[in-house]
Chain A
C-alpha cells in the first residue's frame, strides 16, 4: 500500500504561473521528501523536510509540512517548460523501518 497520496493527479499551467501540489500521508513520519521524474527516467531528489520543520525553501521550490493534518505541499514558483515532469512525495515509515514509501505522483505539464 502507498503511504503518500499526491493531489492533483495531473496539472497543466501556463509558463510563468505557480504550481502547487499536495501530498497526504497516513502514519507518523520522521521526514518527507519530494522527488521529480522526467519522462519515466530516474528520480531526482528535490528537497527533504523533517517532521519538526514547517517550511523549507530551495530556489523556486517551497515545501510546507503540517504534521497535524499529515499533509505537505510543494510550490514551484515562476514555472518553466523544464519543470514539466512527475512529482512524487516520499515518506519514511516512522520508527518501523528505514524504507521510504512513494505516492503515485502528480504529472505537471507546463504550457508555453
Chain B
C-alpha cells in the first residue's frame, strides 16, 4: 500500500455534468501526476503539478483542469462530461518532476451515463 489516497472510489455522473476528483500525495512528495485509464488500455498522462503549478500536460482538452494545494494534495476537474470520459482516474505522487518512481493511488472509477 502506498501513502497515496484518492476519493471517491467510484462515481457515476451524467453527460454534461462536472466532476471533481481528489488525491492526497504521499508524505514528502511535492509532485502529483494524473492519468486516465480506459478499460483494457494503459494509463494516459493528463497533466502534472509541481509545487502548485502545472508542469506538463498530455493530449487532453481544456475541460480537464487541475489544482495542487500547499500541502501538495491535488484535484482533477472535468467539465462537460462526455461518455468517453468513463475511465479509471489515477493519481501518482513523486518527489520532483522527473518520474523516476511514482507511487500510485488506488484510483477513482468514473462512469458517465
A-B contacts counted at CB < 8 A amount to 63
Contacts of B102 in A (CB 8 A): 45, 100
- Name B's interface SS: loop
Given the known A-B contacts A98-B99, A99-B58, are A44 and B104 also in contact in the complex, defined by CB atoms under 8 Å? yes
Interface size band for B: 20 to 34
* Nearest B residue to A86, CB-CB: B42
Say how far A60's CB is from chain B's closest CB, in angstroms.
Answer: 20
Which listed residue (B39, B45, B90) contacts A43, Cβ 8 A? B90
Residue pairs across A and B with Cβ atoms less than 8 A apart, 5 shown, are A42-B90, A43-B92, A100-B45, A102-B42, A104-B41
Which residues on B are within 8 Å of A, measured CB to CB?
Answer: 2, 4, 33, 35, 37, 39-45, 48, 55-56, 58, 88, 90, 92, 97-107, 109
Question: Which residues of A are in contact with B by a Cβ distance under 8 Å?
Answer: 2, 4, 31, 33, 35, 40-45, 48, 88, 90, 92, 97-105
